[in-house]
Amino acid sequence: MTGISVAIDSNLLLLFVVGSASRGYIARHKRLKAFDVADFDLLLQELSVASTLVLTPNTLTETSNLIDHIGEPARGHIYRFLRALLQRPEAEERYVPGIQATASAELPRLGLTDCTLLELCDAGVPLITVDLPLFLAALSRGAKAINFNHLRDAAS
């Protein structure tokens, strides 16, 4: 582990939480059709270099809403993993005030949650995202960002 903090978008957080609860849930989850177990392994590899996973309340809320797209008992198991993740010292929740995030020129294009992630980028937190518009917005701000799709392409 290093001293690096990293933020991930809601879709990748969903993949991380669902896959960590059970790799078998990835194929069953309705909102993870674009991902497979190899993507989960690749995400784990990328996250392994970080000592801190930085999350915003907005990303957590979006992810929570996405978790609901799988039935019980899987849903309960996934939520228990999410709760456990938030109690771990390597998970850091950072609040970005809505007034600050909505001041972003990218708000109409990206929405509130992604604008909170851009604020983290502005504070020096690298971002891993599967969302091309968010990736490009981060780069245009001079932030360190990784497009997860580029990692997927390089791995195949």
The pLDDT score that the predictor gives to residue 2 is 60
Domain CATH code at residue 23: 3.40.50.1010
* Residue 152, pLDDT above cutoff 50: yes
Number of independent structural domains in the chain: 1
Q: Per-residue pLDDT tens for 1-24?
A: 467 999 999 999 999 999 999 999
81-140 tens-digit pLDDT: 999 999 999 999 999 999 999 999 999 999 999 999 999 999 999 999 999 999 999 999
pTM for this entry: 0.95
Q: What is the pLDDT, as a whole number, of residue 43? A: 97
**pLDDT on residue 87:** 96
In SS3 terms, 9-73 reads as CHHHHHHHHHHHHCCCHHHHCHHHCCCCHHHHHHHHHHHCCEEEEEECHHHHHHHHHHHCCCCCC
The residue ranking higher by pLDDT, 37 or 49, is 37
Q: Which residues constitute the domain of residue 62? A: 4-155
Q: Assess whether pLDDT exceeds 80 at residue 56.
A: yes
